[in-house]
Amino acid sequence: MTLTIAVDHESTTAPYEQLRAQISERARSGRLPVGYKLPTVRGLAEQLGLAANTVAKAYKALESDGVIETRGRHGTFVAAAGDAATRRAATAAAQYAEEAHRLGLGRAAAEAAVSEALRAAYDS
């Protein structure tokens, strides 16, 4: 299996974000299996015609999201099923629910705000 990433240099979306989004989506969908070894930062940068810092920034964001993990000199691998990302999302949701309740929003208004935020994030 090889990692095929396409970066649109004409896009208004930053290259590191395009890279992050594509790897994240493939890992979460299973097209990149758990334990898949990703190319080195330099290797992927050369392959895509990007600066190494751009790829490193994407890898750092993916690691922070729990999508990938770095194992020292052994390389960077797809992490187990996004468990860390799921936990972070659940924590953020709980914090939002508490804040909305504290502000006096009713359940319907709080859910509407979440729906609108999700629509904006996923449908753009």
| Beta strand residue intervals within 34-78, DSSP E | 37-38, 68-70, 76-78
Domain residue ranges of the chain, discontinuous segments joined by +:
15-78, 84-123
Q: Tell me: the pLDDT tens digits for 91-103?
A: 788 889 989 999 9
Mean pLDDT of 5-22: 95
Give the percent of the chain with pLDDT over 90.
65
Q: Tell me: the pLDDT tens digits for 23-34?
A: 999 988 888 888
107-122 vs 83-102: helix axis angle to the nearest 10?
A: 140
Name residues whose C-beta falls within 8 Å of residue 120's C-beta, 6 or more positions apart in sequence. none
pLDDT of residue 85: 67
- Closest by CA to 48, choosing from 77, 22, 24, 66, is 22
Residue 120: pLDDT band by 50, 70, 90 thresholds? very high
For 81, phi then psi, to 5°, come to 45, 30
Say if residue 36's pLDDT is above 80: yes
Say if residue 110's pLDDT is above 90: yes
Q: What is d(CA 69, CA 80) in angstroms, rounded to the nearest whole number? A: 9
For 31, phi then psi, to 5°, come to -65, -25
Task: Determine the CATH number of domain 15-78.
Answer: 1.10.10.10
pLDDT of residue 39: 95
